[in-house]
Amino acid sequence: GLNCSDEVFKLNRALYGLKISPKSWNDKFNEIMVINGFTRSQHDYCLYYSDDVYLLLFVDDALITGGKTEKVKNLINILYKNFKVKDMGEANVFLGMQFNRTNDGLIINQNKIIDKLLKEFNMEKCRGVTTPMEVGFKLDESNLIIDVPYRQLVCSLMYIAVMTRPDLSFAVSILSRILDKPTIQTWQAAKRVLRYLSATKEKGLRFDKNEGKLISYSDADWAGDTVSQKSVSGFFASDGSKSYCMVFKETT
């Protein structure tokens, strides 16, 4: 909103909304954490750890956990001294994920986000289905359709798939290949994923207390794309509990 022609103002600190502000904030946060003995993970720059205390930062939201309550409280006090923070207590919701604790572990789902998505796309009363995509689905790039929020829907589904619903990974990976050229077929397929979520909204990731060994499997559909002769491959990993993850990619 500044309107001037012959004056320049020098900022003493980054203001909210400037391009440099996110970087300045992250540099400052990292500096405080390092000074207080924490190490930034080289595998995930959002993760800091120190002697059985862990902090996961997402922009300006953070999760803190650790084996000893006094060390967790000490970290919270450090943050209070250096930033304007708000302690939300025990984590129940974080980045749209809901945490449900049991005697044996933890269940994470996103049923509230799913309800919001169903309402946004007028699918609240849709008929549920048992699979996210039809068997033998093949992309047909004819019959383009415009003026539908296809990209918005697929990107929302992608977020849910990455966070708590890896069972959507295959369908989302297929639908995201033509974000800029949706067709009647892919628009209906994207809405089918919503129908699947409507019937399975309570499902999520379950992490049990156990010392199971890591088990993994991989497979491919062997040239499932009859036009390009490319395969879709994926892997499944589990530590013996109900938790797992899958990643799919197209390869020659």
- Phi, psi dihedral angles at 86 (to 5 degrees): -130, 120
Q: How many Å apart are CA 233 and CA 251, to the nearest integer?
A: 7
Helical packing angle, 184-200 and 150-163, nearest 10°? 40
Q: Name, in order, each residue with C-beta under 8 angstroms of 239's C-beta and a sequence gap of 6 or more.
A: 210, 212, 213, 214, 215
List, for residues 12-63, the tens digit of each pLDDT value: 888 888 888 889 899 999 999 999 999 999 999 999 999 889 999 998 899 9
Task: Evaluate if residue 209 carries a pLDDT over 90.
Answer: no
Task: Evaluate if residue 70 carries a pLDDT over 60.
Answer: yes
Give the pLDDT confidence score for residue 101 in this predicted structure: 87
Task: Evaluate if residue 242 carries a pLDDT over 70.
Answer: no
Q: Cα separations (Å) of 148 from 23, 138, 182?
A: 35, 21, 9
Task: Evaluate if residue 195 carries a pLDDT over 70.
Answer: yes
Query: What is the average pLDDT score of the chain?
Result: 86
**Contact between 72 and 39 (Cβ < 8 Å):** no
List, for residues 98-151, the tens digit of each pLDDT value: 999 888 888 999 999 999 999 999 999 999 999 999 988 888 888 888 889 999
Indicate the SS3 state at residue 225.
coil
Least confident residue range of 13-17, 42-46, 231-235, 237-241:
237-241
The DSSP bridge pattern shows strands 93-94 and 97-101 to be: antiparallel
List, for residues 158-179, the tens digit of each pLDDT value: 999 999 998 998 899 889 988 8
More confident residue, 228 or 91: 91
Q: Cα separations (Å) of 161 from 88, 203, 210?
A: 26, 12, 25
- Phi, psi dihedral angles at 219 (to 5 degrees): -160, 170
47: left (phi over 0), alpha (psi -120 to 50) or beta: beta
Single-letter amino acid, residue 130? T
Q: How many Å apart are CA 220 and CA 232, to the nearest integer?
A: 5
Has this prediction a pTM greater than 0.85?
Answer: no
Half-sphere exposure of 208 (CA within 13 A, CB side): 11
Give the pLDDT confidence score for residue 76 in this predicted structure: 92
Give the pLDDT confidence score for residue 243 in this predicted structure: 46
Give the pLDDT confidence score for residue 244 in this predicted structure: 47
**H-helix or E-strand containing 81?**
helix 69-82
Question: How sure is the predictor about 66, in pLDDT bands with cuts at 50, 70 and 90?
Answer: confident
Q: Which residue has the tokens 């009859």?
A: 226
